[in-house]
């Protein structure tokens, strides 16, 4: 058994081997690993969650519960063996568990390193798809999330006179405006809708399974919510407004075509005096 466990490459493989061989020695019902990590606290790793790691409390020792410490360099850890019934642990078996500690430590450290690497890669992918200032999706993410086989509403949203406001009140205030308008767009729409920072002071929203009536109403909600934003502490800034162009993407239609329809609506709203909504179907 020592040789078999020592040859396991990672924690799931080690657990699978243990499940096969330990019942020959002990009435093992299940086993799990607990380790105290520096950033997430105590985590539990077990087959029932694919060893992904979840916050937990250390189990209590009992006649049907064995807690075996894992020595060596790395975060403190134990293996928890749940037994079907209480049993006596012989000296020979205790010595065997001590001999298994190096294999357990190697497998556990390898698993923790791989888990951290995967988390860092996920964070990098997330950061690559999100705008750092507003937290919205960016144009790079648009290519990954858009579906040509779906029907959705399209909103092009532009902050009115943003360059003038930015020049007058400074870039820190301009950044605050961008963040607050982004939050207003997000709050005005459903959780299933997607909002992107399309460029500069321009935002794009894709409204899933949306018809003309819903798309038009959503555009008006965005306009009103932005118009009611207050910028306390910025003397002379009474507020900002947005112009919105709305269109519908139909299944099979080139996405760029629907975005272009919304963009033309946006420019009509600008020509009509700003702080308004223009729809492609009324143009």
Q: Delimit the domains of the chain by residue range.
A: 2-127, 139-282
201 is catalytic: yes
CATH class of 139-282: alpha beta
- Evaluate if residue 96 carries a pLDDT over 90: no
Model pLDDT, residue 47 = 87
Q: What is the mean pLDDT of residues 16-43?
A: 84
In which band, very low, low, confident or very high, does the pLDDT at 126 lie, cut at 50, 70 and 90?
low
Query: Which of 118, 123, 201, 235 is an active site residue?
Result: 201
- Mean pLDDT over 27-55 rounds to 89
- Residue 104 binned pLDDT confidence (cut-offs 50, 70, 90): confident
Q: What's residue 9's pLDDT?
A: 65
User: Closest Cα partner for 264 from 140, 158, 139, 147?
Assistant: 158
Q: Looking at the predicted structure, is the pLDDT value of residue 123 above 80?
A: no
Would you state the pLDDT for residue 6? Answer: 58
Residues 6 or more apart in contact with residue 201 via CB below 8 angstroms: 158, 159, 162, 163, 178, 181
Residues 6+ apart with CB under 8 A from 208: 150, 152, 190, 192, 193, 194
Q: What confidence score (pLDDT) does residue 106 get?
A: 84
Tell whether the model's pLDDT for residue 206 goes beyond 90.
Answer: yes
Residue 209 in tokens: 């399974």
Average pLDDT over residues 12-41: 83
Least-confidence region, from 111-115, 227-231, 255-259: 111-115
Contact 262, 280 (CB under 8 A): yes
Burial call 146-160: b when 16+ CB within 10 Å, e when fewer: beeeebbbbbbbbbb
Please report, rounded to a whole number, the percentage of residues in the chain having pLDDT higher than 90: 49
Rounded (5°) CA angle 234-131-255: 120
* 207 band by pLDDT with thresholds 50, 70 and 90: very high
Query: What pLDDT score was predicted for residue 5?
Result: 61
CB 241 within 8 A of CB 226: yes
Instruction: Look at residue 174 and tell me whether its pLDDT is greater than 90.
Output: yes
What is the Cα–Cα distance from 88 to 110, expressed in whole angstroms? 32
Does the pLDDT value for residue 1 go beyond 60?
Answer: no
Report percent pLDDT > 70 for the chain. Answer: 94
Q: How confident is the model at residue 128 (pLDDT cuts 50, 70, 90)?
A: confident
**Is residue 213 predicted with pLDDT exceeding 90?**
yes
Confidence (pLDDT) at 283: 64
What's residue 124's pLDDT? 63
Rounded mean pLDDT of 264-278? 96
């Amino acid at each position: 058994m020592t040789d078999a466990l020592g040859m396991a490459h990672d924690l799931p493989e080690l657990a699978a081997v243990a499940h096969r061989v330990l019942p020959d020695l002990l009435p093992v019902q299940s086993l799990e690993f607990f380790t105290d990590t520096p950033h997430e606290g105590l985590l539990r790793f077990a087959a029932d969650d694919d060893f992904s790691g979840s916050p937990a409390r250390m189990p209590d020792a009992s006649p049907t519960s064995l807690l075996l410490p894992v020595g060596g360099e790395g975060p403190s850890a134990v293996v928890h063996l749940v037994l079907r019934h209480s049993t006596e642990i012989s000296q020979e078996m205790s010595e065997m568990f001590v001999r298994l500690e190096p294999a357990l430590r190697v497998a556990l450290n390898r698993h923790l390193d791989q888990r951290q690497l995967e988390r860092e890669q996920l964070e990098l992918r997330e950061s690559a798809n999100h705008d750092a200032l507003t937290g919205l999706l960016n144009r790079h993410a648009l290519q990954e999330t858009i579906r040509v086989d779906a029907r959705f509403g399209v909103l092009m949203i532009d902050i009115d006179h943003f360059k003038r406001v930015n020049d007058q009140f400074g870039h820190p205030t301009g950044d605050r405006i961008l963040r607050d308008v982004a939050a207003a767009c997000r709050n005005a729409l459903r959780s299933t809708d997607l909002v992107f920072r399309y460029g500069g002071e321009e935002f794009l929203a894709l409204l899933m399974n949306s018809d003309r009536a819903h798309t038009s109403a959503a555009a008006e909600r965005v306009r009103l919510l932005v118009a009611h934003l207050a910028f306390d502490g910025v003397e002379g800034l009474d507020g900002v407004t947005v112009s919105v162009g709305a269109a519908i993407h139909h299944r099979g239609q080139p996405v760029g075509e629907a975005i272009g329809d919304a963009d033309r609506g946006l420019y009509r709203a600008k020509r009509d005096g700003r702080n308004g909504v223009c729809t492609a179907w009324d143009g």
